[in-house]
């Protein structure tokens, strides 16, 4: 089966600019996650969707980050305006059941804010 697709793979922007990342999960996977992985740290959950509804966005910096999952399939994560500390790899993952047992991660988008 095809994996989780993410684009772009790399992005360099200046601080205060905006950026958007796209994720296409595995077909049929109802649960989609966005994680942020800062260099030297493990991934940290930003937001979790169940179909097209948000079930956990407690760690999402809502003053600058937003995410949507229209029609319960693809998802986009946006940062506006970006800060230097947003430099990280943004990972998308999906699972069929949402019970933590069957995560599949995409390759991630590496964001550098200069």
Partner 1 sequence: TQLLEQSPQFLSIQEGENLTVYCNSSSVFSSLQWYRQEPGEGPVLLVTVVTGGEVKKLKRLTFQFGDARKDSSLHITAAQPGDTGLYLCAGADRGSTLGRLYFGRGTQLTVWP
Residue numbers at the binding site for partner 1 (CB under 8 A): 4, 9, 31, 33, 40-45, 48, 55-56, 91, 93, 95, 97-108, 110
Least distance in angstroms from the C-beta of 58 to partner 1 = 9
Least distance in angstroms from the C-beta of 1 to partner 1 = 14
Nearer to partner 1, 17 or 104 (CB): 104
Neighbouring residues of 110: CB distance < 8 A, sequence distance ≥ 6: 9, 10, 11, 88, 89
Nearer to partner 1, 44 or 62 (CB): 44
Is residue 98 within 8 A of residue 50, CB to CB? The reply is yes
Least distance in angstroms from the C-beta of 3 to partner 1 = 9
62: left (phi over 0), alpha (psi -120 to 50) or beta: alpha
Is residue 90 within 8 A of residue 109, CB to CB? The reply is yes
Nearer to partner 1, 75 or 98 (CB): 98
Nearer to partner 1, 74 or 103 (CB): 103
Distance in angstroms (rounded) separating the CA atoms of residues 110 and 70 = 24
Least distance in angstroms from the C-beta of 16 to partner 1 = 27
Residue 42 — φ and ψ, nearest 5°? -80, 165
């Amino acid at each position: 089966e095809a994996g989780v697709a993410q684009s772009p793979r790399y992005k360099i922007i200046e601080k205060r600019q905006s950026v958007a990342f796209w994720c296409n999960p595995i077909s049929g996977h109802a649960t989609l996650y966005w994680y942020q992985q800062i260099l030297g740290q493990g991934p940290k959950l930003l937001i979790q969707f169940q179909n097209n509804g948000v079930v956990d966005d407690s760690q999402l910096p809502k003053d600058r980050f937003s995410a949507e999952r229209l029609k319960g399939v693809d998802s986009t994560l946006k940062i506006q305006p970006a800060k230097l500390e947003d430099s990280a790899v943004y990972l998308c993952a999906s699972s069929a059941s949402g019970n933590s047992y069957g995560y599949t991660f995409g390759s991630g988008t590496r964001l550098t804010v200069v």
